[in-house]
Structures are given as C-alpha cells and as structure tokens.
Structure 1
Amino acid sequence: MRVAIFDFDGTLYSKETFQLMMAHLKNHPEHSLRYRRFYRAIMPPYLGHKLKIYPEAKMRARSVQAYLMALETFSRTELEQFFAEIADKMHDDMNSRVVERLRQHVADNVYVMLVSGAFMPLLHAVTEKLPIEKIIGTEIHYKNGILDHRTPVTHIQGSLKTEKIQEALNGQQIDWSNSFAYGDSFSDLPVLELVGNPVAVHPELRLRNVAEKRDWEIIQ
C-alpha cells in the first residue's frame, strides 16, 4: 500500500490556522470577552519564545491549551459549531495545487492521510468534502459532553507526527519508497524523510535548503 501524507498549515491550507482562530475568538459577537483570558495566558510563553528562552514547541503547546481554557463551558455541539464557523472562512485559502495532488493520489489508489497540530473538529469541518482516509490531529477531551479544558491535550507536532503515522498504519504493508509526503516547515522533515517522494510546499528557508540539497520536488 502506498500512502500520501499531507501537512495542513502552510501546505494543504495556505495560511496559519492559529492566527485565524485567534482572530475569530477576538471578534466573535458572543464570545469575544473570552479572548482576554486567552491573551493573558499566552503572553508569558510567547514573550519567552521571542527572547529565545522558551522552546517553540512548548510555546505552541501552551497556546493550544490556553485556547481551550478560554472556551470552557462549551458543549461538544457548541465547540463543533464554533470550529465550523472558522472552517467556513478557510475554504478560499486552500492550496489549489496541493488539493489537486490529493485528489490525484486518491484516483491513483493511494491512501491519503492528513497529519496536523490543528484541533480535530476543525480539521474534519474544513476537509469534509475532501477524500481523506485518515485524519490525525490534536484531540479535544470532553467530560459529560462538556469541554474538559483541564485535561492536558497532546499537541501533534514534530516527531510525534511520525509516531502517530506509524501507529495509524500499524499492521499494514507500506511501500514507503513509492509513497508521498507534503510539508512546508523544517519541523515536517521527519515525515518527509519517511517516504521516497517528499514534496516541499512553499518551504521555509531551512526546509528549502534541505529540499534543494537532496533534489526534492518543491511546489512554489
């Protein structure tokens, strides 16, 4: 079995999900006051990251948790509706060339996976019309149907992406040398190195340097 693994932010989606999520909360007609709590929570790790004394991965994980804390009291239905509102704003910014590749892989009987640090309800909402076999993202916990913001989430990023991919494909015979992976950042390197056909999509400088040195395909 061949697989095609797609990153989301900067790859399948041309922009950054978290920036849009922040703006949606800040400007929401009902929930904008929650943004203040979120902002207060993320400023210390954000400033620490800017001062190069706090790791980026930890800053991102703290930000994801802080966002959920700001949404406390949301039911599962309310949270899914909230993310559906965000998804509606994203469709025009999907990367058409990458979406075309995804559909072609499906036509070629390649097993398509989406692997992202974005929240699962958002990923499902924004890709509901795309033929993706498996979505791996940051899971949200609930307790009695209400968002459980106190339970730490596992933010899917870096090497954890490859772990989750291998876990999802456990027991399958994968033809890695004839499989594909798409990513835009240096942190996607472990996933890109899994396959014989890595593709750098609008890559940041560090990934571009690797892609050029190894003669990987680059989608501009």
Structure 2
Amino acid sequence: MEKLAIFDIDFTITKKETLMELFKFMMHEDCKNIKFIPRAVFSGLMFVLKIYDERKTKETFLKFLDGIEAEELARIVKKYYKERLSKILYKDAIDKIKELKGKGYKIYLISASPEFYLNEMYAIKEVDKIIGTKFTIKDGRFIRSMDGENCKGEEKVKRLKEELEKEKIEVDFKNSYMFSDSLSDKPLFDLVGNPYLINFKKNHEYIKKLNWN
C-alpha cells in the first residue's frame, strides 16, 4: 500500500493567493488588463456578501482570460510559474515535500485554485499528482466556465479517491499526511492519521500546528 503526503497549495505551500497573483502578473504583462480591476473587486464583494458562491466568484473573476487561445494560455502560465509563482513558495514546505518523498511517500497537491496553472507545479520534481478546479477549453480557447465542481472540502476527497481508483492505487491513510492552512480541509484532515495545520493562529484540539517560512 502507498502512503500519501497531501498538501493544500494557497497559503500552505505558497505565501500568497495564487489566482490573485496570476491576475497581478497579467496586469504587469499587459497594462490593458487594469480594466478588469473593477470586475475583480465586484466578484470579491459579491462573495463576501454571500451573493456569489465560490464557483460564480471564480467564473466572474476570470474574465481577464476569457476566450484566450489555449496555446497562448499555456505560454502565459509557464511564464507565470517561472517568474512569480515559483518565487512565493515556502522553503519549509518544499523541504517537507523533499523529506517525505525521500521516505517513500507519494506527493499529492490538492487545491481549489485552477488546475490550468497549478499544473506548472509539476516542475517540482517530487510532485506525483496535482488536483485542482478544472475550467473549460472549447474550440481551442479558454472559457471561464468551471468544468465540474469547485475542488474544495468534500470535493477534494472525492477527486482524490477518483484519481486513486483510476490509477488502482491502494493507500495506507492511517500513516499518510495532510498539510493545510485552513479547516475547510477538515474532510482531508479526517482521512489521514497525520494532519497538520500550517501557520494557523489558534490551537486545535487534535490537529498539530507547524509554522512555515
């Protein structure tokens, strides 16, 4: 049986929120993207007011990429990883990934952020699988329509088990690890024998804390 080391991404492996960093990167690449700032603010406000759920919020926010050719998107996200995303990784997170990979664990990154750019994190050679929220490519172009469900909470467990079943991997969950900055990942925490909260401000009754830099 395999043992997994599962990592959330935003604020667990990275110091900043990756989708917002992509937006800032796009504005830096082309100042015309500044015109999407009001939409970004609006989508965030609608989420805070609980008028939009996370699906609607992300689909609204991603207007700045709507209709872009898939080949151009691939070029952008590769450059985004190299110039920005790879620069905001916690050293302690990467060290832990390397440590557990060295002990024979399979490394899974599971996030609610969009998979189309998270896949660039396969550049971290220890990573075995990346699971994120999927978006639509239609007629060779990116469409800001979510493909399936937002990969958060119970959906993370569902997607993980689907991948394990597809690859016929049996897992020793009792001896597996889960790292996240948020209790929204409780379904994954409950799945493993070694759950850890990252940079969490409060004490938790059964989940240990780690502070990463």
TM-score bracket, shorter-length normalisation? 0.7 to 0.9
| 2:29 matched residue in structure 1 | 28
| 1:8 matched residue in structure 2 | 9
3-state SS of 1:69 partner? helix
The 8 Å contact of residues 34 and 71 in structure 1, kept in 2 or not, is answered as: no
Unaligned runs of 5+ residues in structure 1 are none
3-state SS of 1:20 partner? helix
Q: How far apart in 1 are the matches of 2:103 and 2:135? A: 33
The 8 Å contact of residues 5 and 100 in structure 2, kept in 1 or not, is answered as: yes
| 1:172 matched residue in structure 2 | 169
Q: Deviations over 1:74-126 (max 9, x none)?
A: 11110111212221212222111111111121111111101012222311224
Q: How far apart in 1 are the matches of 2:28 and 2:64? A: 14
Q: How far apart in 2 are the matches of 1:164 and 1:179? A: 17
Output the TM-score relative to the length of structure 2: 0.85
| 2:75 matched residue in structure 1 | 81
The count of aligned residue pairs is: 207
Deviation at 1:182, TM superposition (A): 0.5
Task: Pick closer, same or farther for the CA change 1:63–1:92 going to 2, 3 Å.
Answer: same
The 8 Å contact of residues 3 and 174 in structure 1, kept in 2 or not, is answered as: yes
3-state SS of 1:141 partner? strand
| 1:47 matched residue in structure 2 | 45
The 8 Å contact of residues 45 and 54 in structure 1, kept in 2 or not, is answered as: no
The 8 Å contact of residues 4 and 181 in structure 1, kept in 2 or not, is answered as: yes
Write out aligned runs for 1:88-167 (5 A): 88-149=83-144, 151-153=145-147, 154-167=149-162
| 2:178 matched residue in structure 1 | 181
Q: How far apart in 1 are the matches of 2:9 and 2:75? A: 20
| 2:208 matched residue in structure 1 | 216
Deviation at 1:218, TM superposition (A): 2.4
CA RMSD of aligned residues (A): 2.2
Output the TM-score relative to the length of structure 1: 0.83
Q: How far apart in 1 are the matches of 2:23 and 2:119? A: 19
Q: How far apart in 2 are the matches of 1:8 and 1:128? A: 14
Query: Per residue, is there more strand in 1 or in 2?
Result: 2
The 8 Å contact of residues 46 and 57 in structure 2, kept in 1 or not, is answered as: no
The 8 Å contact of residues 77 and 120 in structure 2, kept in 1 or not, is answered as: yes
| 1:196 matched residue in structure 2 | 193
